[in-house]
Amino acid sequence: MKVVIIGAQWGDEGKGKIVDYLAEKAKYVVRYAGGPNAGHTIVVDGKQFALHQVPSGILYPEKQVFLGAGMVIDPEALFNELAMLKENGINWEGRVFISDRAHIILPRYRQMDKDRDASRKRPIGTTGRGIGIGYSEKAQRDGLRLADLDWKEKMAEYDGEDKAYLDTYKDRLLSMRVDLTAKMWEFRSDDILFEGAQGAMLDIDSGTYPYVSSGASCAAGAATGCGIGPHDLDKILGVFKAYETRVGNGPMPSEFNDTSEGELCQYVRDRGREYGVTTGRARRCGYLDLVALRYACRVNSLDGLVLTHLDIYDDMDQIEACVAYDINGKIVTDFPANVEAMNAAKPVLEKFSGWKTSLKNCKTYNDLPKNARAYIEYIEDFTKTPVDIVSVGYERDETVIRKDPWKK
């Protein structure tokens, strides 16, 4: 069984926890996109781990994890992350592998990334981790892959600080390299979990371009970034929060109004810990955008949804969700590509009764309060996609499984 986990919003949906939870039954976990700009937070027995490049399945001692061909790897950040894991009792040696087709980020890419964004008339709000430069070099066919580290002619192109940096990490990186396509064929009968980064609405093609990431954060990226074909993917699940968040610039039609909804925004931000794992920046917050979620379901052929952070609403009398856009007086129910239209969009809201009780101890779907179930079932009907998993807290056991993702 091959299961893909993607973010169904603008990233930060709680993929880290869900991948960690589902990895228990997977034999291997493969990350297929992004780089050190991603931040996946996992809480195990009250202890928090912040991962950026290492796949979330690493916390299980027997799992092997792979960094895919669709990733851009920052060696310094990667080995710092691995050192952090070791300091916290996670023995990663012999369990972390890197596709020989993955690209490498050089230190100077970080400043280049910041400078490029600062020079834009409409800055993207990049994390400044060199991701955009890494993917640009790749697209221009000037990038450096892990496989190239022992290609003498290619390595002769680098000198000075670049050469010194690569010499520092070369042997360690090469000791971890694998032919990922060969591995995927070798493991074709095993259960594999494919972990996305960022979210569907940040995908370079189907996201809110140009305010997107530079990689393939869509479901199709699991195939292109992992050395397998789309027919070999059995199930695609999209993770989304009970509300909306976004980091950086770009349209977000359901964003809370700072003037009239500032108190609600701060409540959601504080309760949901909506501060970037990578940057520490406060995330923009808003009502759940069902128009955008339905679009993500359609463009990624989602088989099921995973709802997280539902417990954030436990104390609220009433919650609301965006079911359409009002764009210059016209009601729009499909997700537009035009940025100007998106910036003009105002959310059309649907009201739902709150449940005024803690969800923490709910273990089955029927344990959830009636009003919580009504909210979920409205989402399912609107998106025409079932909600297979509901997360009601940060810990592994605070997860309600409605449909086993490892069964076809």
Give me the active site residues, please. Answer: 12, 40
Six token digits for residue 29: 């976990």
Neighbours of 145 (CB within 10 A): 18
Residue 97 bridge partners (DSSP):
66
Q: Supply the DSSP string of 145-189, one letter for each residue.
A: BGGGGG-HHHHTT--HHHHHHHHHHHHHHHTTEE-HHHHHHHTTT
Please give the Cα distance from 224 to 167 (Å, whole number). Answer: 29
Burial of 311 (0-12, 13-18, 19+ CB in 10 A): buried
Please give the Cα distance from 188 to 42 (Å, whole number). Answer: 28
Find the helix packing angle between 131-139 and 108-119, rounded to 10°.
90
* Residue matched to tokens 């379901």: 297
Residue 227 φ/ψ region, left for φ over 0, alpha for ψ in the -120 to 50 degree band, beta for the rest: left
